[in-house]
Structure 1
Amino acid sequence: MLWLFCFIDRANIGNARIAGMDDSLELRGYDYNFILSCFYIPYILLEMPATILCKRIGPGWFIPTTALLFGICSFATAFVKTRAQMCALRFLLGVFEAGMLPGIAYYLSCWYKRAELAFRLSLYLVMSPLAGAFGGILASGILRLGHFGSLTQWRMIFGIEGIITIALSVLSYATLTDRPETAIWLSSEEKYLCKLRLKLEHAGQTEAINTIDRAKLWRGVMNPITLSTAVVFLFSNITVQGLGVFLPTIISTIYPEASTIQRQLYSVPPYIVGALFDVFVPALSWKLDRRQIFIVISTPTIIVGYILFLASHSTTVRYVACYLIASTAFVAGPLSSAQVSANVASDTSRTSAIATNVLFGNIGGLVSSWTYLVKDAPDYTIGNGLNLACAFMQLVVSLGTLLWLRRDNKKREGRNVVQDLAGLDKQEIEYLDWKHPLHALCGDNPMQLKATTKGNGRGATELLLAAIKGYLPIAKQLLELGAEIDAPRADTPGRTALEGAAEHGGLGMVQFLLENGAQTFGDGVWQYY
């Protein structure tokens, strides 16, 4: 609900525009586009600092506080008298909303595993298209009131929606918690399980809660998947933010004879279609444990939609194009955030990866504020052409990322974990982050961990090699990642990790394997008395 009204408070300026805001504030030429840009400048610049602050103080305090502040800004917008005042409040709105999207994405990544995250992200990002639909319905209902206290016309939209946001933010102080370990509604066993589920996916990580490490921040930013996915989200968000702010204006050019309330309502159905796809596609992604391929295949419908806008002047065709574009335009939001989160290991690098993705996306939002210009009306050839080019680039970059992922994972499958980590201490292994040889990058065909098959070209398993060399931390990580503790060599029967430990690895390794359920020794069963 917080994200719903976060997006409404950002996009309701589009509803206010067709309700008389331009005439009331005497906006001319590019004034409207300039006002939109005032929001995105602080939104982009403060994205990373706000996300780091969210990790530092905890999402349970950070998210409600930012929601309260941007709700106050939205309410105050109802009382502006000049363009300068509107610009100032849009600037402050950008300041306070900067950490909301990456903050919630980071918060959910503290609870859910890789495969689960995309669908969970979609359950809150679906509020983006629903904000367009609900915002249109709410705006039409508000305009029927006639007045709200001293507020009339478009001012009521900002005033009433701002009050709702403030109320929700106050309520969220009592409902949000920082992370599973501090959730009062979970038992101690459930808290431990939540923590363990995530730890098993991130090899070598022992990071303390609420700590910031610059090296890990940089790891998250410079991950190739973070950067390529962020570029995809940049192109995608040009379309998404353009839809959020300009769809009521586009509808006005398709149905110029319709009343203001009818235009508000015409914008609702495309958003509803977008909301349905925004849940369905990530749900399918969750079931199949694939993300990148769905980012790729969600793009063609957007391309077709903008081609129809450019090729036809038919009212029906152009309105159908709105549905095609809205259907999959919003999908990249949850999928991209889930993808960058899944492809880093530590909590800190996950924070910076999500922030980088959202930062690039909001650069796209800034561009979107200048895609539909007054001089380009009513066909908006420039805006539709730019969005078509962006959709094509989204397809090219996402497809290239998919192919790179397949290639990189194939290379990782042939690596020898024990040799790669030999000589590294615990901190050095932790700083490897996504470069850790057991960290599989998540593409269309995630790396199949070779923890139970050949490790050195002679048939030995990775666990056997670790046992022979006495590398206890590596053996522990292999078991956490699903290595079969009694898996024999591939080329000769018998030889298990327990036998290797008994011969070469030392008493500590033998005891560790026995405590973790090892039984097979040679060709028989090891009896531990």
Structure 2
Amino acid sequence: MAQKIEEKQQFEYGADDKHTEAQLTPDVESKNSKELKSGDGGLSNDDVVLQYDKHEARRILRKIDYRLIPLLGLLYLLAYLDRSNIGNARIAGMYEDLELYGLRYNTALTVFFVPYALFEVPSNIVLKMIRPSIWISILCFSWGLVMTLMGLVTSYEGLIAARIFLGVTEAGFFPAATYLLTIWYQRYEVQSRMAIFYAAASLSGAFSGLLAFAIEKMDGIAGLAGWKWIFILEGLAPVAVSFSLYFLLPDSPETAKFLTKEEREFVVNRIALQTGTGHGRVTNSDKITMAQIKSAFGDWRIWMAILPFWACSIGTYGFTATVPVVVKQLGYTSSHAQLMTIPIYVVAMVSTVIVAFWADHVQQRTPFIIGGFSIGVIGFIAELAIPHPKYPGVTYFFLFLVATGLYCPFTCIVTLIANNLAPSSKRAVGMALLISVGNMGGICGSNIYLAKQAPKYPVGFGVGLTTCVLGIIAAFVLRREYSRQNQLRDALIAQEGAETLKARYTDQELLDLGDRSPFFRYTL
């Protein structure tokens, strides 16, 4: 009977009414893992956790926050800056110098996303085999080097080649960073942390405009155009940062040197024991198997979540690459257009963080996906309806709603899937799959804002509107399905009893069942 129940209780992530999720370590087994499981000084696993009060627990979490989140935020800011600064370089003279007329500019945007999507799942597999501090250092150095060399291109063909290599080198960072968060924090602690470093994507838009405004003034220095200096200087930054990551980026709770031995035990065990019902332990040290890879690829709910992900990626990438042009064509100079994009991204950043903390507090995901896209729908409808550039102030105002509606739902989508996949090997593959296929939306987003349709961009804003509506529908479907499965499992336990049901399985079998365990509950 339990077999036909296809859903899960908090087992891998932990979930009672205060469902707390967690995971141990990214498949890098610590040589101290046995010691951590047994605690120190003869303490049981429960005692290792219970010996810390809430104040002490918060203190330890803050130590992790201060070490991990700013670093991931900085890296994501640099990555997003390097992929999106082509919009700033366009209006700084690159468009004319490289003769990016017709669909050439759109093609240069598009080619980035093909290797970017293809290499995300393989990258997360590599992450399971190599220490995160090493792998992410390699990625950071590589994309910075490619960006720096992009400043030396002199032809359209050279730009295309550089964008392809940029896609290859940036592909692994975001899935690696999001998965890394899930091994440090419990279920309803993840999104708020993810939003802080993802907000760097919003901030990068503002930072990019500010930097471009300043760097563009270097036009002519060393015989290089201002747009080339944008690429060179914004590429050297990640190269410099990459050399420090080996020493600064912690790999897992079990091996974190910035924590004391007792603090490491506490972090590991608070995650392992947060199952909500006390049935077994949670672990992230399971190895990737073909069965779990197939399970991830065969989970239709991941594919359904790709629809709202596409709404974000299609809208965000197209919007980011085009908004400087949209603002400029409202009647502003190139330099002022760069500066006027800054408030748009700042509002999007603040909104993303507020929504994430709110979602973690109320332990919900789909209502915020639906709400965010609804704001985006209003913004897109307004942009389609306003006669451009007749009302520049009104047009500019609704760009804020578009940005807010596209950025806010993103972390909700990623954490919804992260919360609802187990064991950790399935979660690693499933998250990478979601992000990989979801980022293919960037291919579409790069080709819907056509230069010949400026400044109204009916196709660009129209596609953005359509995908937001589809994202809302998909969120409703996912909420209904997850709720239905939770109710089925509640009914089964009420009918047969938790202990009777648990007696049918060994602890390892329940771990292997992951999100199919009758004791696993989905986040809604």
Q: Same fold (TM over 0.5)?
A: yes
Q: Which residue of 2 aligns with 1:488?
A: none
Aligned-pair CA distance for 1:337:
1.6
8 Å CA contact 1:56–1:211 kept in 2: the answer is no
Taking the TM superposition and a 5 Å limit, the aligned residue runs for 1:227-242 are 227-242=303-318
Instruction: Return the alpha-carbon distance in structure 1 between the equivalents of residues 403 and 313 of structure 2.
Output: 12
Instruction: Return the alpha-carbon distance in structure 2 between the equivalents of residues 193 and 349 of structure 1.
Output: 25
Instruction: Return the alpha-carbon distance in structure 2 between the equivalents of residues 192 and 224 of structure 1.
Output: 37
Instruction: Return the alpha-carbon distance in structure 2 between the equivalents of residues 268 and 210 of structure 1.
Output: 44
Taking the TM superposition and a 5 Å limit, the aligned residue runs for 1:348-359 are 348-359=425-436
Instruction: Return the alpha-carbon distance in structure 2 between the equivalents of residues 425 and 366 of structure 1.
Output: 46
Instruction: Return the alpha-carbon distance in structure 1 between the equivalents of residues 228 and 92 of structure 2.
Output: 9
Q: Which residue of 1 aligns with 2:211?
A: 138
Matched, 1:374 2:455: no
Aligned-pair CA distance for 1:422:
4.7
- CA 1:6 to 1:368, structure 2 compared with 1: closer, same or farther past 3 Å? same
8 Å CA contact 1:56–1:212 kept in 2: the answer is no
- CA 1:58 to 1:36, structure 2 compared with 1: closer, same or farther past 3 Å? same
Match 1:181 to one of 242, 248, 254: 254
Taking the TM superposition and a 5 Å limit, the aligned residue runs for 1:132-211 are 132-201=205-274, 209=285, 211=287
Match 2:102 to one of 29, 32, 37: 29
8 Å CA contact 2:273–2:280 kept in 1: the answer is no
Matched, 1:264 2:338: yes
Instruction: Return the alpha-carbon distance in structure 2 between the equivalents of residues 226 and 58 of structure 1.
Output: 27
8 Å CA contact 1:271–1:326 kept in 2: the answer is yes
8 Å CA contact 2:81–2:205 kept in 1: the answer is yes
Q: Which residue of 1 aligns with 2:298?
A: 222
Instruction: Return the alpha-carbon distance in structure 1 between the equivalents of residues 308 and 88 of structure 2.
Output: 28
Instruction: Return the alpha-carbon distance in structure 1 between the equivalents of residues 300 and 517 of structure 2.
Output: 14
Q: Secondary structure at the match of 1:428?
A: helix
Aligned-pair CA distance for 1:167:
1.1
Q: Which residue of 2 aligns with 1:20?
A: 93
Q: Which residue of 1 aligns with 2:442?
A: 365
Q: Which residue of 1 aligns with 2:288?
A: 212
Q: Which residue of 2 aligns with 1:495?
A: none
Match 2:513 to one of 424, 432, 437: 432
8 Å CA contact 2:375–2:405 kept in 1: the answer is yes
Superposed CA deviations along residues 17-57 of structure 1, whole A, max 9, x for unmatched, are 00110111122210011111110010111111111111221
Q: Which residue of 2 aligns with 1:337?
A: 414
Aligned-pair CA distance for 1:357:
1.7
Which has the higher mean CA deviation after the structures are superposed, 130-139 or 200-209? 200-209
Q: Which residue of 2 aligns with 1:504?
A: none
Instruction: Return the alpha-carbon distance in structure 2 between the equivalents of residues 210 and 52 of structure 1.
Output: 13
8 Å CA contact 2:199–2:352 kept in 1: the answer is yes
Match 2:384 to one of 297, 300, 310: 310
Which has the higher mean CA deviation after the structures are superposed, 166-175 or 318-327? 166-175
- CA 1:66 to 1:35, structure 2 compared with 1: closer, same or farther past 3 Å? same
Superposed CA deviations along residues 313-337 of structure 1, whole A, max 9, x for unmatched, are 2212211110111123112222112
Q: Which residue of 2 aligns with 1:129?
A: 202
Aligned-pair CA distance for 1:400:
1.9
Taking the TM superposition and a 5 Å limit, the aligned residue runs for 1:438-477 are 438-443=519-524
TM-score (norm 1): 0.80
Structure 2 unaligned spans of 5+? 1-73
Report the aligned-residue RMSD.
Answer: 1.8
Q: Which residue of 1 aligns with 2:321?
A: 245
Instruction: Return the alpha-carbon distance in structure 2 between the equivalents of residues 147 and 276 of structure 1.
Output: 37
Q: Which residue of 2 aligns with 1:397?
A: 474
- CA 1:197 to 1:231, structure 2 compared with 1: closer, same or farther past 3 Å? farther
- Which letter maps to 1:369? S
- Which letter maps to 2:239? I
Instruction: Return the alpha-carbon distance in structure 2 between the equivalents of residues 345 and 195 of structure 1.
Output: 17
Instruction: Return the alpha-carbon distance in structure 2 between the equivalents of residues 372 and 105 of structure 1.
Output: 29
Superposed CA deviations along residues 252-299 of structure 1, whole A, max 9, x for unmatched, are 2223xx221111111111111001101110011121121121111111
Instruction: Return the alpha-carbon distance in structure 2 between the equivalents of residues 269 and 132 of structure 1.
Output: 9
Instruction: Return the alpha-carbon distance in structure 1 between the equivalents of residues 368 and 512 of structure 2.
Output: 31
Instruction: Return the alpha-carbon distance in structure 2 between the equivalents of residues 208 and 401 of structure 1.
Output: 25
- Which letter maps to 1:55? K
8 Å CA contact 2:271–2:282 kept in 1: the answer is no
- Which letter maps to 1:231? L
Superposed CA deviations along residues 65-114 of structure 1, whole A, max 9, x for unmatched, are 10110000000000001111111110010001111111100111110111
- CA 1:195 to 1:48, structure 2 compared with 1: closer, same or farther past 3 Å? same
- CA 1:92 to 1:27, structure 2 compared with 1: closer, same or farther past 3 Å? same
Q: Which residue of 1 aligns with 2:396?
A: 319
- CA 1:11 to 1:356, structure 2 compared with 1: closer, same or farther past 3 Å? same
8 Å CA contact 1:77–1:158 kept in 2: the answer is yes
Match 1:294 to one of 368, 383, 388: 368
Instruction: Return the alpha-carbon distance in structure 2 between the equivalents of residues 111 and 405 of structure 1.
Output: 25
TM-score (norm 2): 0.81
Matched, 1:282 2:359: no
8 Å CA contact 1:11–1:244 kept in 2: the answer is yes
Q: Secondary structure at the match of 2:329?
A: helix
Aligned residues: 441
Structure 1 unaligned spans of 5+? 444-529
8 Å CA contact 2:93–2:227 kept in 1: the answer is yes
Instruction: Return the alpha-carbon distance in structure 2 between the equivalents of residues 42 and 205 of structure 1.
Output: 38
Which has the higher mean CA deviation after the structures are superposed, 98-107 or 392-401? 392-401
Higher RCO, 1 or 2 (CA under 8 Å, sep at least 6)? 2
Aligned-pair CA distance for 1:214:
2.1
- Which letter maps to 1:431? D
Instruction: Return the alpha-carbon distance in structure 2 between the equivalents of residues 372 and 205 of structure 1.
Output: 50
- CA 1:132 to 1:39, structure 2 compared with 1: closer, same or farther past 3 Å? same
- Which letter maps to 1:390? T
8 Å CA contact 1:343–1:442 kept in 2: the answer is yes
- CA 1:261 to 1:272, structure 2 compared with 1: closer, same or farther past 3 Å? same
Superposed CA deviations along residues 134-154 of structure 1, whole A, max 9, x for unmatched, are 000010011123445443310
Taking the TM superposition and a 5 Å limit, the aligned residue runs for 1:77-92 are 77-92=150-165
Aligned-pair identity (%)? 29
- Which letter maps to 1:277? S
Instruction: Return the alpha-carbon distance in structure 1 between the equivalents of residues 281 and 75 of structure 2.
Output: 32
Which has the higher mean CA deviation after the structures are superposed, 197-206 or 376-385? 197-206
Matched, 1:347 2:421: no
8 Å CA contact 1:142–1:157 kept in 2: the answer is yes
- CA 1:267 to 1:208, structure 2 compared with 1: closer, same or farther past 3 Å? closer
- Which letter maps to 1:381? P
Superposed CA deviations along residues 450-500 of structure 1, whole A, max 9, x for unmatched, are xxxxxxxxxxxxxxxxxxxxxxxxxxxxxxxxxxxxxxxxxxxxxxxxxxx
Structure showing greater radius of gyration is 1
Aligned-pair CA distance for 1:437:
0.8
8 Å CA contact 1:299–1:395 kept in 2: the answer is yes
